[in-house]
């Protein structure tokens, strides 16, 4: 909630790969979709395919038109870093 964007590494993202602790990265932004899980129109199992990962390509292959930025605006964790080591 501060002004400095939080940086999330791929390895940190990968630890949030459970239904009750679910993060997903789309186009460089990491979202916490734990609360959205039960409301995903495609179901829990479909959404879980992208959880803990950079799911940009998967998301775009399924429904590139979905306005996830609006749906998940309250669920932003931060920005996805390119590397796997913690950012300075």
Residues found near ligand HEM in the complex (CB under 6 A):
24, 33, 36, 40-42, 46-47, 49-50, 55, 58-59, 62-63, 66, 68, 71-72
Could you give the CA distance from residue 23 to residue 29 in angstroms, rounded to a whole number?
Answer: 10
Angstrom CA distances, 51 to 3, 4, 30, 88, stand at 26, 24, 10, 25
Q: Least CB distance from residue 23 to ligand HEM, whole Å?
A: 11
When the beta carbons of 21 and 86 are compared against ligand HEM, the nearer one is 21
Least separation in angstroms between CB 9 and ligand HEM:
19
CB of 56 to ligand HEM, least distance (A): 8
β-pair type (76-80, 7-8): parallel
Q: With respect to ligand HEM, which residue has the nearer C-beta, 3 or 41?
A: 41
Residue number with the smallest Cβ distance to ligand HEM: 42
Residues 6+ apart with CB under 8 A from 44: 19, 37, 38
Report the SS3 class of residue 20: coil
């Amino acid at each position: 909630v501060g002004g400095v964007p939080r940086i999330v590494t791929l390895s940190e993202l990968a630890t949030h790969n459970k239904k009750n602790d679910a993060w997903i990265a789309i186009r460089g932004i990491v979202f916490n979709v734990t609360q959205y899980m039960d409301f995903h129109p495609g179901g829990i199992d479909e959404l879980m395919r992208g959880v803990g990962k950079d799911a940009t390509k998967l998301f775009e292959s399924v429904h590139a038109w979905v306005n996830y930025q609006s749906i998940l605006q309250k669920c932003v964790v931060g920005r996805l870093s390119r590397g796997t080591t913690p950012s300075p």
